């Protein structure tokens, strides 16, 4: 056991002291923060105001198109043809033609926008939203419908989901957190499993392993390497979480300093792709900021964070240990990284299937696919993480955990037999048939 601890210590300290580890640990959150800031700055740099001429032959939309810091609407009674011919000289970005009509319903496909270049989604969305809003208002008046009363009649229904014991069950937020946890496990297994494989392969090709094996058994070396890299992964993940929170808090405080609640909403929507393209969503969010914040706090309070975090750590470690043993065996069996491809494919298939199944679980968390994929050791680390927020019977969780531990022990035993033989074998192309012989060796 002491030898395994020494290998773990060596593996951990060697990797965390590398410049690449320090650079990526610090650079990851900074890159995310840089992306966040760059989206804001690019939005600020793109300050060219577009002037749009509105030719309203219905005389209904006069003054209804509101200008902002990006788009300025001006109204004209000039013929469209003359405006089009003079568009370059006048510097207009585009011309909005609203034809005269006896029935406003016919405007739905009759409005035309002329421009030299293709308009962006923000321009089209703003025009479309204003037209739809004003046409609807006009129809309400024609039909004798009081719009204020209509707004009061509108109902926003929320369904509170509870089990038969009257306990609150899943919310969209908890389901999202569960899926995010499963996705992180999926990515981390690939990243750190490949790190184990490359580490084994490097030691084998450099012949360092021949010296190490003289004092440590191959199985002890493999386990020490696997656990050491697992600790490196957890360390990097925790540092990423802490640093990302610090960077995000710092950036948002600087960006939102001294701004009103409305300005804060507008600023945050500018750095989220697509948000500025939906005026209706922006308006709704502006009107319901306080209510949305209250609901979010209530949802956050209802989330069982200790359960989610505990499940994440268990399935992260369980999934990593199970797959990293196989990755270590592949690294020991081959002589170069190009030779790993034929053995990587069968190992990665269950991970890909688990990710696909996880998407299905969001729609049917209690179905047969969800059940079987959440207890099979090769897929349970991802799928069970997605199922947890929807409420899983504890006997299912216990069965999944026991099978995952059993799967880890089995793959470790399997990988150990391959590792023991392959780590000292050079210059020979390994096939599945050859690996099968190694598994049958009695030693």
Rg of the chain over CA atoms, in angstroms? Answer: 30
Residue pair 382/358 in contact (Cβ under 8 Å)? The answer is yes
DSSP β-ladder status, 112-115 and 94-98: antiparallel
In sequence order, which ranges of 257-393 are alpha helices (DSSP H)?
Answer: 261-270, 279-287, 289-302, 305-333, 341-363, 368-375, 380-387
Q: Which fold has domain 50-146?
A: D-Maltodextrin-Binding Protein; domain 2 (3.40.190)
pLDDT in tens, 270-298: 544 444 444 454 554 444 445 555 555 65
How many angstroms separate the CA atoms of 329 and 213, rounded?
Answer: 16
Q: What is d(CA 235, CA 248) in angstroms, rounded to the nearest whole number?
A: 20
List pLDDT tens digits, range 155-192.
777 766 666 666 666 567 777 888 888 888 998 888 88
Residue 23: count of CB within 10 angstroms of its CB: 10
Question: How many other CB atoms are there within 10 angstroms of residue 32's CB atom?
Answer: 16
- State the Cα–Cα distance between residues 54 and 76, nearest whole angstrom: 6
pLDDT digits (tens, 9 = 90+) for 26-79: 887 788 777 777 766 666 655 567 888 888 888 888 888 888 777 888 888 888
Q: Which residue has the higher pLDDT, 148 or 235?
A: 235
- List phi, psi (to 5°) of 358: -60, -35
Share of the chain above pLDDT 90, in %: 9
Most confident of 205-209, 241-245, 333-337, 399-403: 399-403
Domain positions in the chain: 50-146, 170-235+303-440
Where are any strands of DSSP class E within 38-134? 50-56, 71-75, 94-98, 112-115
Residue 333: closest CA among 414, 421, 408, 411:
421
Residue 149 has phi, psi (to 5 degrees) of -65, -40
Please list, in sequence order, all residues whose beta carbon lies within 8 angstroms of the beta carbon of residue 243, skipping any fewer than 6 positions away: 25, 26, 28, 29
């Amino acid at each position: 056991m002491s030898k395994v601890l020494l290998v773990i210590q060596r593996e951990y300290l060697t990797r965390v002291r590398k410049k690449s580890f320090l650079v990526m640990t610090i650079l990851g959150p900074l890159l995310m923060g840089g992306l966040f800031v760059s989206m804001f700055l690019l939005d600020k740099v793109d300050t060219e105001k577009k002037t749009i001429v509105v030719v309203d032959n219905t005389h209904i939309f006069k003054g209804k198109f509101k200008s902002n810091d990006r788009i300025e609407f001006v109204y004209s009674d000039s013929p469209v043809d003359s405006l089009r011919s003079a568009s370059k000289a006048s510097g207009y970005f585009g011309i909005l033609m609203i034809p005269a009509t006896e029935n406003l319903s016919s405007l739905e496909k009759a409005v035309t926008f002329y421009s030299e270049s293709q308009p962006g989604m923000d321009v089209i969305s703003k025009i479309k939203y204003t037209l739809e809003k004003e046409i609807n208002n006009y129809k309400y008046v024609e039909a004798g419908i009081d719009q204020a009363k209509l707004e009061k009649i509108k109902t926003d229904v929320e369904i509170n989901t509870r089990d038969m014991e009257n306990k609150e069950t899943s919310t969209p937020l908890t389901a999202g957190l569960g899926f995010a946890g499963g996705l992180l496990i999926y990515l981390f297994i690939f990243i750190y499993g490949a790190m184990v494989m490359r580490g084994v392969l490097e030691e084998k090709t450099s012949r360092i392993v021949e010296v190490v094996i003289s004092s440590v058994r191959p199985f002890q070396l493999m386990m020490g390497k696997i656990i050491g890299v697992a600790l490196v992964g957890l360390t990097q993940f925790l540092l990423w979480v802490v640093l990302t929170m610090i960077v995000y808090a710092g950036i948002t405080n600087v960006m939102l300093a001294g701004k009103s609640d409305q300005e804060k909403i507008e600023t945050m929507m500018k750095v989220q792709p697509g948000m500025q393209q939906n005026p209706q969503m922006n308006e709704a969010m502006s009107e319901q900021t306080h209510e949305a914040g209250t609901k979010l706090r209530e949802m956050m309070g209802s989330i069982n964070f200790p359960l989610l975090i505990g499940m994440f750590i268990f399935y992260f470690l369980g999934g990593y240990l199970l797959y990293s043993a196989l990755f270590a065996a592949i690294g020991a069996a081959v002589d170069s990284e190009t030779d790993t491809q034929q053995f990587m494919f069968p190992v990665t298939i269950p991970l890909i299937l688990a990710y696909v199944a996880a998407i299905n679980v969001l729609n049917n968390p209690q179905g047969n696919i969800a059940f079987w994929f959440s207890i099979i050791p090769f897929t349970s680390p991802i799928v069970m993480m997605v199922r947890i927020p929807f409420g899983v019977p504890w006997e299912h969780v216990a069965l999944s955990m026991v099978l995952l531990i059993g799967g880890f022990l089995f793959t470790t035993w399997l990988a150990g037999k391959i590792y023991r033989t392959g780590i000292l074998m050079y210059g020979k192309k390994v096939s599945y048939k050859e690996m099968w012989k190694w598994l049958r060796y009695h030693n």
